[in-house]
């Protein structure tokens, strides 16, 4: 009985952290859109990943955690997973915001559990369950509603879908690769690899980034994206999954697109239509149906290896 109160307090603390994480990742969507008014997607993501890398390695060094990975193929796995999980997701979702409402992009990107369940069938041999099929049908229906209600070419919606699929593929790759080592250190190495790729792309496409003059709002948005939504958010996530069941943490992460939609309406002044609301509801239900699936399937545990 003496351990009940500490465990309960620990769980309550983790749920508070989950709320903070939802705010960090949810508010990052309008923050990115604000920054994109003055900087390119290449600059935005390179700065964000660079700042996040410094933050995470600073924490790892302060806590004297082991940064080493097994020599050899582990570093290849880190680079491949970074290209899918971080670079792919980051570029698809950022370019998507240039062609579609941020509220739409954030929710479509968080349809990842649906595509992870679908891809796990051919890639990992995991059978499709009833929940996976229902989630897929709901998600396709939601996408169809959003595409049909789009006033122009639905390029942004397809780019957002690319972000979700890239994230799903990277998560499955991490599950298959089973990289040995400290999970936070692995995330740090992924961010470092992603920063190197984005920095090279930035030089190749822009030569030098446009960093001055910038509005105070843009500077604040860039700082939030790098320090809070990238560096601090990963610390919160790994602390949360260490305290709560992974399915609980994954379901809690569904609050992120909700925060993204609401904050986009408040901060950016976006005005989703009734058709948007219907599409949002279908896609949200799709992701929830997969994450609510019984623990006989391993897909919900993919959320533990989330890297964004």
> Is residue 250's pLDDT more than 90?
no
* Domain ranges (residues) in the chain: 20-305
Residue percentage of the chain with pLDDT more than 70: 91
* pLDDT attached to residue 14: 78
- Going by pLDDT thresholds of 50, 70 and 90, the confidence category of residue 295 is very low
Residue 307 confidence (pLDDT): 47
What is the rounded average pLDDT of the residues 255-263? 94
Mean residue pLDDT across the chain = 88
Residue range 278-306: mean pLDDT, rounded: 70
pTM here? 0.89
pLDDT, tens digit (0-9, with 9 covering 90-100), for 147-201 = 988 777 899 999 999 999 999 999 999 989 999 989 899 999 999 999 999 999 9
Average pLDDT over residues 256-277: 95
Which tens digit of pLDDT belongs to each residue from 207-240? 888 788 899 999 999 999 999 999 999 989 888 8
Between 162 and 298, the more confident residue is 162
Q: How confident is the model at residue 294 (pLDDT cuts 50, 70, 90)?
A: low
Q: Looking at residue 39, what is its pLDDT?
A: 95
Q: If you write DSSP's letter for every residue of the chain in order, what string do you get?
A: -TTHHHHHHHHHHHHHHHHHHHHHHHHHHHHHHHHTTTS-HHHHHHHHHHHHHHHHHHHHHHTT------SSHHHHHHHHHHIIIIIIHHHHHHHHTTTS-HHHHHHHHTTHHHHHHHHHHHHH-PPPPHHHHHHHHHHHHHHHHHHHH-SS-THHHHHHHHHHHHHHHHHHHHHHH---S-HHHHHHHHHHHHHHHHHHHHHHHHSS---SS--HHHHHHHHIIIIIIIIIHHHHHHHHHHHS-HHHHHHHTTHHHHHHHHHIIIII-----HHHHHHHHHHHHHHHHHHTS-TTSSGGGGGGG---
As a whole number, mean pLDDT of residues 241-248 equals: 72
What are the tens digits of pLDDT across the range 53-96?
999 999 999 999 999 988 889 999 999 999 999 999 999 999 99
Residue % of the chain over a pLDDT of 90? 67
Of the pLDDT bands very low, low, confident and very high (cuts 50, 70, 90), residue 247 is: low
Predicted pLDDT at 301: 45
pLDDT for the residue numbered 1: 47
Task: Please report the pLDDT score of residue 8 as a whole number.
Answer: 64
């Amino acid at each position: 009985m003496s351990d009940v109160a500490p465990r309960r307090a620990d769980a309550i603390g983790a749920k508070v952290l989950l709320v903070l994480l939802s705010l960090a990742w949810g508010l990052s969507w309008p923050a990115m859109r604000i920054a994109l008014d003055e900087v390119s997607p290449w600059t935005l993501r390179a700065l964000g990943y660079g700042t996040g890398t410094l933050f995470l390695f600073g924490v790892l060094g302060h806590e004297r955690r082991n940064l080493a990975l097994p020599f050899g193929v582990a570093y290849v796995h880190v680079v491949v997973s970074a290209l899918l999980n971080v670079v792919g997701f980051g570029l698809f979702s950022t370019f998507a915001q240039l062609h579609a409402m941020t509220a739409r992009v954030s929710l479509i990107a968080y349809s990842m559990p649906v595509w992870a369940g679908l891809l796990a069938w051919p890639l990992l041999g995991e059978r499709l369950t009833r929940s996976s099929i229902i989630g897929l049908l709901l998600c396709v229906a939601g996408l169809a509603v959003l595409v049909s209600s789009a006033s122009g070419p639905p390029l942004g919606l397809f780019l957002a879908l690319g972000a979700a699929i890239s994230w799903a593929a990277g998560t499955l790759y991490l599950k298959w690769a089973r990289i040995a080592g400290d999970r936070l250190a692995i995330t740090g190495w992924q961010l470092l690899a992603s920063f190197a790729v984005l920095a090279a792309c930035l030089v190749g496409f822009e030569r030098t980034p446009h960093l001055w003059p910038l509005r105070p709002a843009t500077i604040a948005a860039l700082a939030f994206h790098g320090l809070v939504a990238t560096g601090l958010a990963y610390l919160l996530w790994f602390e949360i999954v260490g305290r709560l069941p992974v399915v609980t943490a994954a379901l809690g992460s569904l609050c992120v697109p909700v925060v993204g939609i609401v904050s986009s309406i408040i901060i950016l002044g976006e005005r989703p239509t009734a058709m948007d609301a219907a599409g949002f509801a279908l896609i949200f239900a799709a992701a929830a149906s997969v994450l609510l699936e019984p623990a006989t399937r391993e897909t919900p545990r993919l959320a533990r290896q989330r890297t964004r």
